[in-house]
Every structure is written in C-alpha cells, then in structure tokens.
Structure 1
C-alpha cells in the first residue's frame, strides 16, 4: 500500500535513541511498504517538522508519527498535546512508541488522543518484529487520512 498518488508513505519518527532509530530504519527498510522515514531527535524538532519551520521548511506532511515520550527539549506528551490541539495537524495518526510501561503514561497518552501506545521491547529482534507488525497493521489494514488538508 502507498499513498493514493503512488508515492511512499511519509512517516515521522521522533526518537532520540540512536539504537532505536537504527532498528526502526532496518525494520522499515526490510518491510513490504514503500515509505520515507523522516527522523528528528527531539520534541522541538518534531514540532518544527510538522509546522514546516526552519530547516524543515520543505518537509512533507507525514501520514503517521511514531513518537517517543522521553525526549529532550519538548517531551513527547507535550508534542502530542500540541498536535491534537491544532486543527491542521490533529488528523495525523500518532503512535506512541516508548520504553515506558507506566500506567499513568498510557492513560495520559490516550487522554491526549494518541491512536496507539506501544512499548519498545528490550530485545532487538523483538523490537524489529514489533515494527513489522505495526507496519502491517497500519499500512495494510488501516486507511490513513490524506496528508493534504481539506478546506
């Protein structure tokens, strides 16, 4: 599956851990879905990417965001809150992909309208399998909203 214009799915990965970035890139590279994985390393950069500010002026509107919670500068929860509070961004599905299993984080993530909450496995093979399962579900079975805005 790819976007209706035939192009790849644009995914924004908001992750500060280089190892998790590498594993996610590897999993998506070996997957069946054409995608462009864009990576930012902190919450402030995520918001700049989404609002196409500064060095991200020409950034595409992502079809989906994978969001870690424990980020420098602006936390993942703050990023999620801002996205879902903005009419021009709130339709973008946000998947929390984090190491936290804390019940309060899970509850807060859903209160702020995340579309799913996934906990990163410690084992690298299990992590790759999680990303592949996620990819199959979100890009094969789910119909994502168009990345362009409607008036």
Structure 2
C-alpha cells in the first residue's frame, strides 16, 4: 500500500468504548496512522460525518467501521440509512460484529456493506478485507 496526501479517515461507530480503544490500538500498533474518529451513538452518524466534512474532510476518503449489534439502533439499520443518503451513499462501510454467522455476513453485503470483520480481529484480517475494497487500498497511511 502506498501513502496518499489525502489519507483515509477511519470512523468507528460502536457503543463499546473498549472495542474502540482496542481497534485504535491494533491499527496504531501495526503502523496505520490515519485519522481515527469514534462515535458511540449510532443515531448521530450523520452529524459526525457532517462535522468531519466541515473540518475539511473528503467524504470519498472516509471509511466507516460499523458495529452490527448496538442497543439504540442496529448496524443494519444504520447501513440502510447511509446507503439511502444522497450525501454519504458511496462511503465505504465495513461491518464489525462478534458474530461469525454467515447469515449476518450475507445480510451485510446485501444491504450494501463493502466488507465484514468478526471482532476481535487481527491486523492481517483487516488488511485482507481492505484489499477487497479496491478504492481504499491505496489510501491508508502506514
């Protein structure tokens, strides 16, 4: 992977702060120094995305790591809202879940996810998923 001046911003949407901390730590440990933002409240995803854009972010350079199981609204519902959004429908979304159920994986892809990872994941699994999202591959800053 090559570096790019306009690096990818990783937005993790997960109600569990421990998962956010562990994911950020894993990525940093393996040399990914991209901007990493987290949102604990999935109902605020569009507010968070809008704020990133206001700060000069490029919606084409945002990747969402979206937890599947959250108490207020599940990841499938959030994913549907993102895909229906005029402004953010093309943002890369990688679903995260403790479930390795094939049905959840297939539902994620049917609803428009670009990838699916089972938590906790390893860095090599993260890169495998990203390698299958062609327009993301070159944007990571290592």
Instruction: Check conservation: 1:2, 1:33, Cα contact below 8 A.
Output: no
Q: What is the TM-score when the length of structure 2 is the normalising length?
A: 0.76
Instruction: Check conservation: 2:12, 2:37, Cα contact below 8 A.
Output: yes
Segments of structure 1 that go 5 or more residues without pairing to the other structure are 122-126, 146-151
Match of residue 143, structure 1, among 125, 128, 135? 135
Is the counterpart of residue 41 in structure 1 residue 33 in structure 2? no
- What is the CA-CA distance between 1:80 and the residue it aligns to? 0.4
Instruction: Check conservation: 2:117, 2:129, Cα contact below 8 A.
Output: no
- Cα 1:72–1:45 change in 2 (3 A) is farther
- Find the counterpart in structure 1 of residue 28 from structure 2: 29
Instruction: Check conservation: 1:47, 1:79, Cα contact below 8 A.
Output: no
- Find the counterpart in structure 1 of residue 82 from structure 2: 83
- Find the counterpart in structure 1 of residue 73 from structure 2: 74
- Tell me the secondary structure at the aligned position of residue 118 of structure 1: strand
Instruction: Check conservation: 2:10, 2:34, Cα contact below 8 A.
Output: yes
- Find the counterpart in structure 1 of residue 140 from structure 2: none
- Tell me the secondary structure at the aligned position of residue 79 of structure 2: helix
Instruction: Encode CA deviations 1:38-91: one digit per residue, 9 max, x unaligned.
Output: 0001211223212x16x9954733521111011232221111001111232121
- Find the counterpart in structure 2 of residue 10 from structure 1: 9
The number of residues matched between the two structures is: 135
Instruction: Check conservation: 1:10, 1:64, Cα contact below 8 A.
Output: yes
Instruction: Check conservation: 1:43, 1:72, Cα contact below 8 A.
Output: no
Q: What is the TM-score when the length of structure 1 is the normalising length?
A: 0.73
Where do residues 99-118 of structure 1 align in structure 2 (5 Å cutoff)?
99-118=98-117
Separation (CA, whole Å) in 1 of partners of 2:62 and 2:94 = 11
- Find the counterpart in structure 1 of residue 94 from structure 2: 95
Segments of structure 2 that go 5 or more residues without pairing to the other structure are 138-142
